[in-house]
Structures are given as structure tokens and as C-alpha cells.
Structure 1
Amino acid sequence: MTWETITAPPGVVAPRPMTVRAQSIPARHYFPDHSHRWNQVVYAISGVLTVTAEAHSFVISPEQAVWLPTGVRHRVGSLLGAEFRSLWIAHEAGHGLPESPTVFGVSPLLQALIVEAADIEGQEDQDGYANRVTILILDQLRRTSPLPSALPWPRGGPLSGLCEALYTEPADSRGPEAWGRELGMSGRTLARRFETEVGMSLRSWRRRLRMFKAIELLGGGLGVTQTAMEIGYGSTSAFVYAFRTEIGSSPQAYMRGRAVSRDTCAAAHVGEIEMIEITRASPT
């Protein structure tokens, strides 16, 4: 199946200092290569995005975002569809943030702030609330830590089709020989090209893909056993062992930690807003 392009909205103006765009990206749609005269944070509150920037291509989940500095050419799309939230940040407002494309983790607090910023975008800011949300977002962005890597992705061609197929059916266990026959090349050639383009072997990439999908499915409410079967593990125990090896905790502990973090950050969000209000209201 082919991908369809999305036309950028007309009348785009520079952010002062931040503009938030909310848009639904249909499955297999993308924004073609382009750049901005400002910084951008690429994020989806649901679904996953494919992002290409500076010869690197990868997939990010709602737990991850990408920082794109001013002038970087990039392409953004979604294989299965996503709720896209794009933060345009003025060049001068990006002081202290990375000078190259960076994948970083999105805390529940930052996610809540992005959702709030999108909800109030375009409203009159008579009491300065929108400005305070912007300040908090910029502060949170400066506190983020780069992730070692997201899920790498080929830039295009037959290997991109292979990865799309495995993303849709992560239980598919075919190796380089079988996929080579499918794509009209030898297994050795496919393995070599895959490692060159993606930066890891097909086996390692499949293992990372399955963990990526596992977190997505668990976050959507699917049980551990169902998730294990969905992504191709023969038993729950095998899945739990693999998850613990890759992630560092059991699936249950990981999801409990996410829930605690979400509640804690929500409380922190309220606290930071209240502190800003108190500070601004205090006499000098």
C-alpha cells in the first residue's frame, strides 16, 4: 500500500513564542520533507509517528517525542494513524535545548501540559494563563533526558515494507532467508542491508519492536497474557522474562510505575501552577 501526503495548513506564521497544532493523521499519511524557521517538538498523544530527520528514521510512541531544532529538514507520518500534537517554538525560545534532532521521554506532566496547551490554543490570554503553561513546557523540555534510541526505521524501499509488515504483525517470525525470498534478494543480502540501514540486525530489531508494541498494548489496557500472544511469544513466562531483560522490570511493575508517575506528575502540575499564581500575586 502507498502512503499519501498531507498538505501543510495555509497562513502559517512564526510562533511567539509557542504555537500548538493539533491534527489527526490518518493511517499511511505523512508530511513531506520540509523545514521551519523555528524549533519543533513532534509528539502524538495516541498512536505512533514515523519521523525522519538528518538521515535517521525512527518510530516514536506517546511516551516519546522528538526535538527538531530550527532549520532541520524532516518528514513526519503515521503507519496506523495518530493524534498529532506539534509544538512550534520560536528560535530564541529554544535556548538551552539540543542543537541537533533528539528523541526524549515524555513524562505524564509534560504530556498533560501539551494537552492543555492544545486545548487553549487560540484563546485570548487575558490573565496570562497560556503564557504560564508555555513557561512550564519550556522548563520541562529543558529537564528532559535524551533517550539512547527509539525504534529505528528504514528510510524507504523494500526494507520499509518489511518493517511495516512486522509492525502490523509482530508475531511474524520469518527470518532473513524467508524475507529475502519475499523481497527478491538473498537472505545474506537482506541481512547486510538491514543492518546497514537500520543499525542493528533483523533479530535485534524484531526484539525491540516487540517490546515497543508490548508497551503500546499494555498501555491500551490489554492483559499480559493477551499481549504476549499478540506479539508472538509462546507463553506468558517467556514474554515476562524477555520484558524484564529488555526493560528492567516485569510488565506489571512497569505499568504500576507508570500509573504512580502519572498521579505524582498530575499533582506536581497543579502545585506548579498554584506556585506561579502565588508568586505573581505577591507584592514586590
Structure 2
Amino acid sequence: MSASDAAVFEATPRPVVSRGNAYPASFELPTHQHRRGQLLYASKGTVAVTTPFGAWIAPPERAVWIPSEIPHAVRMIGAVNTRSVYIEPEVTGAAGAACRVIAVSPLLRALLVEAVHVPREYDTSGRDGLLMALLVEEIGRAPRVPLDLPLPSDPGLAALCARFLEHPNVVEGIDAWADRLGMHRRSFTRLFRRETGMSFAQWRQQACLLAALPRLAANEAVTEVALDLGYESATSFSTMFRRALGKPPSDYRAA
């Protein structure tokens, strides 16, 4: 969407509007923001969203809620078809004021697919208006899925986190990080939790999980992904994965 198209789209006199797009593999949308809140759903492929506050990834059957005015960039993992819903701030309701990944139920998925065919200036009192109202309701009711990774604002810690995200490894130790910042372990632990809201071990595991999802979506072997991330075996990786997401990693591989 060009800047002029986006302006017209944002100005549409309807509380909810929807749009579908197709993107090639590895395509990136640079940092931008919307006046409306956005639900970003990939009907095909996987999307990764980054903001100044963290990172979120939406594999199949998941979507990312991005509140209004939040700067964000989007990276496509594989060829991606998106279905986006843009909602005026005053009607977002239970969708919330923070980014989150939500589970997409069969009903919500059907609504997202149908919404892109609704005329831009639809009849708010007719069938299309009811469809859009139900869509907003279902977004608000959708359960959150823990596929987010908070990023610290402390410059030294942020640099270490960025380096780790380039080469995540589950065996990397907290003492090495503390040494790099010239801190005692206890002080580092307090700083890390204050900056991210998570323990170092929790954050490290979550980073590895988010790194694994795109690779699984690209149909890489579970064993190869597990060993690259520092797990002793595919079994130990699969145990962590199932505990976190309720499904084995094989379920996230491309058919």
C-alpha cells in the first residue's frame, strides 16, 4: 500500500476496514504506524512483527494485534498472504492497548477471509456491518498466545539481546552476560527482570522458541533446528516446545 493509498484507507468513514495482500518470501515492511489498530493475520506463511517494545511472531492459526500509533516493522517468512483488519481506536474494545499474539479460531478465520470482500464503505446497519461488528467482538475474545519477546531499553542489555537474537543458543549462560556488562550476577538478574519482566532463562527459552518457528515453517527438520539452538536432542526440544505451545514442533512444519 502506497502512502497515498494508506491515507485514503485510513480515512474511510467506517469503524472497521479490511484489506488483503500477497508478499514474496523475505519481504520486509519498514517501520510504520497506523492511526487505527490493526490485526495482522497470515492466511499463508508466517509474519514477524517488531516494535520498540518487543517482537511477536504469528505462525499459522495465529495473528498479531497491533494497537493504534505503535511503530512496527513486519518481516515475511516464506511467501505470505495477509488479511488485515484496521479498527478505529474508539471501537477496539477488548482488543487491548498492547501488542499480543492471539489464537485464530475457525470462526475468526472465516470472518477475516470474508471481511476482505466487504465493500470499503459498507452499510453499517446491514449484513456487512454485522459481520464487521462480530469480527471486532471475536478479536477481543480471542485468547492470547505466548509468542512475544520483550526487549530491554537499557542500551548495554539491549545490545546483548540483539546479538543473542542473531544466534540464539539455549545453553548460553547468565554469568557470561553479567561479565560483559561488568555486573555481579545478582545485579544483572535484577536488571534483566526489571527491563523485560522475565527471568533470563525464560527470555532465553522464548527467544529460541521464536527463532525455531520460522525455520519449522520453512520445513526444516526438527532435529536440525533443535541442535542448532543448543538442545541436546530433538526430544528435549520437543518437550519444551509442547510445554510452551501445547503442540509438537512437527505441527508447525509446512505441509
With structure 1 as the length reference, what TM-score do the two structures score? 0.63
C-alpha displacement at 1:131, in angstroms? Answer: 4.7
The answer for the alignment partner of 1:75 in structure 2 is: 71
Q: CA 1:172–1:241 in 2, change beyond 3 Å: closer, same or farther? A: closer
* Residue segments in structure 2 that go unaligned for 5+ positions in a row: none
1:175 to 173, 176, 180: 173
The answer for the alignment partner of 2:54 in structure 1 is: 57
Opposite residue 64 of structure 2, the aligned amino acid is: A
Q: 2-side partners of 1:114 and 1:236: how far apart?
A: 35
The answer for the alignment partner of 2:206 in structure 1 is: 208
Opposite residue 58 of structure 2, the aligned amino acid is: S
Correspondence 1:1-284 to 2 at 5 A: 9-11=6-8, 12-21=10-19, 27=28, 29-31=30-32, 36=35, 38=36, 40-45=37-42, 46-52=46-52, 56-62=53-59, 63-66=62-65, 68=67, 73-78=69-74, 80-81=75-76, 86-91=84-89, 93-95=91-93, 97-98=94-95, 100-101=97-98, 103-107=100-104, 109=106, 110-111=108-109, 113-118=111-116, 120=117, 131=129, 133-147=131-145, 150-155=148-153, 157-171=155-169, 173-180=171-178, 185-186=182-183, 188=185, 190-252=188-250, 255=252
C-alpha displacement at 1:198, in angstroms? Answer: 0.7
Q: 1-side partners of 2:158 and 2:128: how far apart?
A: 40
- Please say if residues 178 and 187 of structure 1, whose CA atoms lie closer than 8 Å, have aligned partners that are also in contact: no
State how many pairs are aligned: 237
User: Which deviations, in whole Å up to 9, do the C-alpha atoms of 1:231-253 show, x marking residues without a partner?
Assistant: 2212112212322343445434x
Matched residue SS, 1:29: strand
Q: 2-side partners of 1:222 and 1:113: how far apart?
A: 31
User: Which deviations, in whole Å up to 9, do the C-alpha atoms of 1:139-193 show, x marking residues without a partner?
Assistant: 42243124467322224734333333333322374334434555x5436454443
The answer for the alignment partner of 1:271 in structure 2 is: none
C-alpha displacement at 1:255, in angstroms? Answer: 4.8
C-alpha displacement at 1:14, in angstroms? Answer: 4.7
Matched residue SS, 2:17: strand
- Please say if residues 17 and 120 of structure 2, whose CA atoms lie closer than 8 Å, have aligned partners that are also in contact: no
In angstroms, what is the RMSD of aligned CA positions? 4.1
Q: 2-side partners of 1:232 and 1:58: how far apart?
A: 21
* Residue segments in structure 1 that go unaligned for 5+ positions in a row: 1-5, 260-284
C-alpha displacement at 1:219, in angstroms? Answer: 3.4
Q: CA 1:247–1:142 in 2, change beyond 3 Å: closer, same or farther? A: closer
Matched residue SS, 1:160: helix
- Please say if residues 179 and 187 of structure 1, whose CA atoms lie closer than 8 Å, have aligned partners that are also in contact: no
C-alpha displacement at 1:121, in angstroms? Answer: 6.7
C-alpha displacement at 1:13, in angstroms? Answer: 0.7
Matched residue SS, 1:74: coil
Opposite residue 231 of structure 1, the aligned amino acid is: L
Q: 2-side partners of 1:157 and 1:98: how far apart?
A: 31
- Please say if residues 177 and 186 of structure 1, whose CA atoms lie closer than 8 Å, have aligned partners that are also in contact: no
The answer for the alignment partner of 1:262 in structure 2 is: none
- Please say if residues 60 and 150 of structure 1, whose CA atoms lie closer than 8 Å, have aligned partners that are also in contact: yes
Q: Greater CA radius of gyration, 1 or 2?
A: 1
C-alpha displacement at 1:29, in angstroms? Answer: 3.0
Opposite residue 50 of structure 2, the aligned amino acid is: T
C-alpha displacement at 1:209, in angstroms? Answer: 1.9
Q: 1-side partners of 2:39 and 2:121: how far apart?
A: 25
Q: 1-side partners of 2:140 and 2:90: how far apart?
A: 14
C-alpha displacement at 1:65, in angstroms? Answer: 1.8
Q: CA 1:255–1:27 in 2, change beyond 3 Å: closer, same or farther? A: closer
Q: CA 1:64–1:209 in 2, change beyond 3 Å: closer, same or farther? A: farther
Q: 1-side partners of 2:12 and 2:201: how far apart?
A: 44
